[in-house]
Amino acid sequence: LIEEQDKVDLVVLDVDEAQDVAQKYQIAALPTIKVFEGGQEVDGFVGNQNFNFIKDFVAKQTAKAS
């Protein structure tokens, strides 16, 4: 899915290795998805989601960036 989008940078964080970053961004459950624009958090979700939800979520975010 991410290969279809050229406007998205995906960052994976190991919360065990980067506990300070997880705390800074209030990551308390996994998975946690956060969307940032210009350094500000603008959207996201917590918890497992199905493929269609994630596909629609990514499409919504990339449409905003257009």
Name all domains of the chain by residue range, CATH numbers in brackets: 2-61 (3.40.30.10)
Question: Pairing relation of β-strands 32-37 and 40-46?
Answer: antiparallel
With beta carbons less than 8 A apart as the criterion, state whether 64 and 7 touch: no
Tell me 2's DSSP state. Answer: G
DSSP element (H, E) containing 42: strand 40-46
pLDDT band at 16 (very low <50, low <70, confident <90, very high): very high
26, pLDDT greater than 70: yes
Copy the structure tokens of residue 4: 């279809």
Report the pLDDT averaged over residues 45-59.
Answer: 94
Q: What is the pTM of this model?
A: 0.79
2, pLDDT greater than 60: no
Copy the structure tokens of residue 58: 């990514």
pLDDT band at 4 (very low <50, low <70, confident <90, very high): low
With beta carbons less than 8 A apart as the criterion, state whether 41 and 11 touch: no
64, pLDDT greater than 60: yes
